[in-house]
Amino acid sequence: MAVPVVTNQSDADPDPGADEPGTRGRFRPPPRADLLAIGAYVLLGVFVCANYWVDVQHRVSSHLPTDHSWFEWLFAHGAYSVRHLENPLFTLRQNVPNGVNMIANTSLLGVTLPMAPITMLFGPQVSYTLYLGAALAATAGTSYWVLSRYLVRSRGAAFVGGAFLGFAPGIIHHANGQPNFASNFLLPLIVARVTRLGLPDRRWWRDGVVLGLLVTYQIFINEEMLLLTALACLVLVLAYAVQRWSDAVARSRRFLLSLGVGGALTGVLAAYPIWFQFDGPQSYRGLQGGVFHNWGEDLAAFVTFARDTVAGSPEVEKTIGLTEQNTWFGWPLVILVLLVAVLLWRVSLAARIATVLAVVFTLAALGPQVRLNAEDTGAHGVWHYLSDDLPLVEMMMPTRLSLIVVGAVGVLVALAWEQARLRAETRPALRFPAYALIALALLPLFPRPLPAEHVDLPPHFIMSGGWRPYVPAGRTLVPVPTPSNVHGLPTLRWSALTLQEFPVPGGYFIGPSPTGEGIFGAAPRPTSGLVYAAMDKNQVPRITDENRRQAVEDLRYWRASVVVLGAHPQEALLRDTVTGLLGQPQRVDDVWLWDVRSLVS
């Protein structure tokens, strides 16, 4: 999500964030308005996560429980890497014996590593929930800071714009299990830094260094959002150059020098992680089948109220479909934004650039085929003309380009509030109706607490360490079913909530297929496939001698020492299936256990 920032808000107004003479370098306590704004954002972050805090040990997202569990596992990975001083870019705690390339997945290392002490003390559930609320509030906070320092004079305008940018419907949608897309607190700072490169009163090398550090850190939070921000900055700079050509030319040399410093610093700091991502163990090229390439935003989504807002309803998904709700602004806000774009086009450079960004990325976000209410209109979108195997594009989801539109809309909302304040100075009668119009467009988008559902803790056998006598060093505990992107959500949490004390086969990740393309989960094995098929059909399969031979072979491949089945909705089916493969289990504590060390030795 990008915040379009220029050095002034209109063609005539000076930079509201410029330092006054003699004040640079002097510490000034934050104004009361800033503290109140940050406090309000923090309270809103707590409110959004309220359903998790009610019972943090037993709650996961109702919408994306698998992703929620994956991110809990990531916090455990950060703690494990710090505690054991292991390379956090790779792990062998999933997908034994091959492991997982963490930097080639959504690893959130910029967060999970610093929060390792909290995870070790309180568990990954607390780290996840604490961070999610903090990320939303921090994004609103940095957006507020950038808007109030560089774009608008009114703290009220900055507060409203920051609140939208931190808690917009598209951001709240991703907060349901995908905190990396709610972790946008560095993006406003990156955009602000880019827009101020080349100014004559600034040190070009220092701006470049700061930009390089910000970009490097963002790589370890969410590379996809960094890419979207880079695209937004490219369009922003081009739009600025077209409108202020002489100024752009005058700044170009220092701008390019700063950009070069930032790029060089990022290249040095991130060279090894980027190499590891694309050429390290378990790296991959693209995604098999280009599964994301057709995911465009529905035209109707722009004027629809999102599911997790006070005006939204889950019923609307039956019309538009279970898509990513990256825009879902509702029709009042769309009307307001169109009105603001028209009224401010001639008087505000920032409004013109924000409007250009909104139009360009709305068109790009529609995907290869334009849809309306989930129906194909027959019209081709911009994405139709891009090759499926174009580097980076092959991994992108077109609908997520609309997150740039969220940034542009947030800026236009802040500018609308600012203009309402300015107009009211000369025509006080306009104050209330102008503010009321903006409020009526935004209040329906106020977020609800994220929906959560109950999930049981792992078996006592797992949490108490009862497994330890059965799993010597170098061996794995095989949960039934083995974790995957479809099955085995509870068993993935066995690993997460024990802070990865034992390695497991399978997992929830993206890794290479035999041809090098990315696939979801571990490469299929006969035994895991047999168990998954039994679960899908809800029927115990006929077990043959060949199945038993394959089971022993798979256990050797997984370096197994023990197979464990805990409480499960299909517990009887799973017990009978594994018994057919491995013989009768033992009942140990609250699990069924097959000690297979004699089989695989």
Give pLDDT tens digits for 14-63.
343 343 333 444 556 678 889 999 999 999 999 999 999 999 999 999 99
The amino acid that residue 127 corresponds to is: S
pLDDT of residue 8: 46
Q: With beta carbons less than 8 A apart as the criterion, state whether 181 and 174 touch.
A: yes
How confident is the model at residue 283, as a pLDDT? 95
Token pair listed for 511: 């890794």
As given in the structure block, the two tokens for residue 538 are 């809800």
Question: Would you say 147 and 385 are in contact if contact means Cβ atoms under 8 Å apart?
Answer: no
Helix (H) and strand (E) counts for the chain?
A: 23, 12
The torsion region of residue 101 among left (phi > 0), alpha (psi -120 to 50) and beta comes to beta
| pLDDT confidence of residue 515 | 86
* Alpha-carbon distances, residue 419 vs 121, 145, 243, 443 (angstroms): 49, 19, 21, 19
Alpha carbon 235 to its chain's center: 23
Helix runs in 399-448, H state only = 402-426, 431-442
Q: Are 285 and 517 in contact (CB under 8 A)?
A: yes
With a CB cutoff of 8 Å and minimum separation 6, the contacts of 80 are 86, 91, 93, 499, 500
For CA atoms 467, 473, 475, 478, give the dihedral sign.
positive
Alpha carbons 589 and 566: distance in angstroms, whole number? 10
- Alpha helix (H) residue ranges in 85-222: 109-112, 116-122, 124-150, 155-167, 169-175, 187-196, 204-219
* Cα 338 → chain centroid: 28
Sign of the Cα pseudo-torsion (192, 198, 200, 202, in order): positive
Q: Decide: pTM greater than 0.85.
A: yes
Planar angle of CA 316, 322, 323, nearest 5 degrees: 105
Beta bridge partners of 518: 287, 512
Neighbours of 569 (CB within 10 A): 9
Question: What pLDDT is stored for residue 384 in this prediction?
Answer: 84
- In whole angstroms, how far apart are CA 323 and each of 68, 402, 519? 18, 13, 21
Query: Do 418 and 157 contact (CB within 8 A), yes or no?
Result: yes
Do 323 and 399 touch, CB atoms closer than 8 A? yes
140 neighbors 166 (Cβ within 8 angstroms): yes
Task: Check residue 432 and give its pLDDT.
Answer: 85
Q: Quick one: tokens of 177?
A: 């299990």
Asked if residues 438 and 160 have their Cβ atoms less than 8 Å apart, the reply is yes
**Beta carbons of 573 and 538 less than 8 angstroms apart:** yes
Q: Sign of dihedral through CA atoms 339, 341, 346, 347?
A: positive
pLDDT for residue 321: 64
Amino acid type, 262: G
CA 512 from chain centre, in angstroms, equals 22
List of the chain residues with pLDDT < 70: 1-29, 288-292, 321-322, 391-394
Report the DSSP beta bridge partners of residue 375. 372
Residue 385's φ and ψ, nearest 5 degrees, are -95, 5
Q: Do residues 176 and 63 lie in contact, with contact meaning Cβ atoms separated by under 8 Å? A: yes
CA dist 48 and 51 (Å) reads: 8
